[in-house]
Structure 1
Amino acid sequence: MLWNNFKVAFAMYSKIPMPRADWNKENMKYTFCFFPFIGLVIGALSYLVGWAGEKFGFHPTFVSAFLVLVPVLVTGGIHVDGLLDTSDALSSWQERERRLEILKDSHAGAFAVITACVYFLAWYGAYSQLWTNQPALLIMALGFMVSRCFSGISVMTFPKARKDGTVAEFSRKAEEMTVRNVLILYLGILLVLMVWIQPILGVLAFAAAAFCFLYYHHKAMKYFGGITGDLAGYFLCLCEVTMAILLAIASVWV
């Protein structure tokens, strides 16, 4: 049963090939317990790219660009899609129902394009600074798990803006209390590991993620009346790039 939950998590939120599993209640009870392990794959690959770049003397520009692409290659950009849709909805300054309609619109507006440019440029700048700092890069690698733990907790606990969306479906079929508690346990372990790697950088990165989580809740409740899959993707992207920028800045002095 747990293996099927693992397969559903990776099939839904990554491009990593998985054996087929039925998307029924039994196979989706603990899906979000395995969601952070997609972040583990992204983090491991990112750290490997940084290590290889330094060891074999690749040009910093090439390494930084490849690091930016790793999460997109692993996930297929599913969370970036949420970031861009949410950017269009928030920038519309329409009523709540209209914002929810914009989230479902498959067309990309001007604000989505602008957001995409700013997002990837911010990642590139952050990686250009931090990829040669081994502790900072390792903490960022763990950050991909941290963001998914917080995102999973939001799916289990936050009100849903729509009753028929993907997030609502996963929430209905999940063992919410068990999944939430497992994700909180993961967060505790990740915090300890990040602080063990480098106390100041670890605390700053985790605090940035927690702040983004609170900001995400505020935005979702105020402008949408709850969360959707797009908003969860928006949070994930915002959380990760914020951690990266903060680590890039702090790594100069630490």
Structure 2
Amino acid sequence: MMIWHGLCLALQFLTVFPLGKEVPWEAKTARWSVRMFPVVGVLVGSVQAIIYWLFVQTPVSPLFLSLSLLFLAIFLSGGLHADGWMDVSDAFFSYRDKERRLDIMKDSRVGAFAVLSIIFLLSFRFVFLYEVMHQHVAPVVFIVVPFFSRSFMSLLLLYGKLAKPTGMAAAFREHVTKGDARFIIVLLSIGIAGFSVVRPVETILLAIGAFFSLLGARSFYERQFGGITGDMLGAFVEGTEVWLWFILWLLPFFVTA
């Protein structure tokens, strides 16, 4: 039951899936919720993969399909991760000290740097999606990308230094242990093994890319903000997914079938 409640809480927190079920916030539920973040990535990716597969059977243009899948990715997360990206961008480009940057992230107002950064982020993601579709990308890749972004987000939450003792990241961190990290690593290993059966080259390269994204994000957040917050976890998901689609776009230039 705790596993189911944890999955429901993770879905309520990270997606707009209409569950119609209230899950109480408890220590074990929060702990299992973090463990289920990779599963949420698989579910979100599965919806995108199904839509992609259905549309490629029709005369719909790659241009329309790319924009539709970009919209779907943002919609399924309720804009949560995009909001985190914008908040972090506003704070970082303020060039203030760490304490002031954390205050800026709490401000509900949207600044110019937030708008510019999200425009460039989504524009590059759209271009990479469009270009990759011309390479006849396999539907399973749409599952692999969000699976890795949410899996490594979980590890960032578990291993990253907290920027402040309050907030969503701190609330989850209070109930997790390094044992939960081992659980997520097992899930990650199973996912890599399973996806490698279908698309070995893409899976391994994307796993390596996501790992380096984790290392880079952890170092950047601790250096610029003193640690991680919930907004930074969301920004990590958005940034990592664009980075992974960039790797997929580059792949044909270096790997031949």
Is the TM value for this pair above 0.5? yes
Contact 1:49/1:63 (8 A) holds in 2? no
Contact 1:165/1:228 (8 A) holds in 2? yes
Return closer, same or farther for 1:239/1:102 CA change in 2, 3 Å cut-off: same
Fraction of identical pairs, as percent: 26
C-alpha distance in 2, partners of 1:137/1:122? 20
Q: How does 1:192-231 map to 2 (within 5 A)?
A: 192-231=193-232
* Counterpart residue number, 2:28: 26
Contact 2:87/2:105 (8 A) holds in 1? yes
Runs of 4+ aligned residues of structure 1 deviating over 6 Å after TM superposition are none
C-alpha distance in 2, partners of 1:3/1:209? 27
TM-superposed CA distance for 1:190, in Å, is: 2.4
* Counterpart residue number, 1:191: 192
- CA deviation map 1:92-149 (0-9, x unaligned): 1110100111111111111111111111111111111123545555234212011111
Contact 2:89/2:117 (8 A) holds in 1? yes
Contact 1:68/1:124 (8 A) holds in 2? yes
Amino acid across the alignment from 1:114? L
Q: How does 1:126-137 map to 2 (within 5 A)?
A: 126-133=128-135, 135-137=137-139
Query: Over aligned residues, Cα RMSD in angstroms?
Result: 1.7
Amino acid across the alignment from 1:36? P
* Counterpart residue number, 1:98: 100
Return closer, same or farther for 1:133/1:186 CA change in 2, 3 Å cut-off: farther
* Counterpart residue number, 1:7: 8
Number of aligned residues: 253
* Counterpart residue number, 1:146: 148
Which secondary structure state, in structure 1, belongs to the residue aligned with residue 93 of structure 2? helix
C-alpha distance in 2, partners of 1:139/1:145? 10
Return closer, same or farther for 1:134/1:40 CA change in 2, 3 Å cut-off: farther
Amino acid across the alignment from 2:203? G
Return closer, same or farther for 1:134/1:184 CA change in 2, 3 Å cut-off: farther
C-alpha distance in 2, partners of 1:206/1:71? 20
Which secondary structure state, in structure 2, belongs to the residue aligned with residue 173 of structure 1? coil
Contact 1:130/1:137 (8 A) holds in 2? no
* Counterpart residue number, 2:182: 181
User: Mind listing any 5+ residue stretches in structure 2 that lack a counterpart?
Assistant: none
TM-superposed CA distance for 1:17, in Å, is: 1.5
Contact 1:195/1:203 (8 A) holds in 2? yes
TM-superposed CA distance for 1:73, in Å, is: 1.4
Which secondary structure state, in structure 2, belongs to the residue aligned with residue 92 of structure 1? coil
Contact 2:41/2:151 (8 A) holds in 1? no
TM-superposed CA distance for 1:159, in Å, is: 1.4
C-alpha distance in 2, partners of 1:25/1:235? 25
TM-score (norm 2): 0.92
Contact 1:140/1:243 (8 A) holds in 2? no
C-alpha distance in 2, partners of 1:55/1:206? 29
Greater CA drift, 132-141 or 95-104: 132-141
TM-score (norm 1): 0.93
C-alpha distance in 1, partners of 2:7/2:202? 31
Greater CA drift, 211-220 or 134-143: 134-143
TM-superposed CA distance for 1:198, in Å, is: 3.1
C-alpha distance in 2, partners of 1:211/1:62? 32
* Counterpart residue number, 1:244: 245
C-alpha distance in 2, partners of 1:241/1:136? 17
C-alpha distance in 1, partners of 2:67/2:244? 18
Contact 2:144/2:203 (8 A) holds in 1? no
Contact 1:40/1:144 (8 A) holds in 2? yes
Contact 1:14/1:74 (8 A) holds in 2? yes
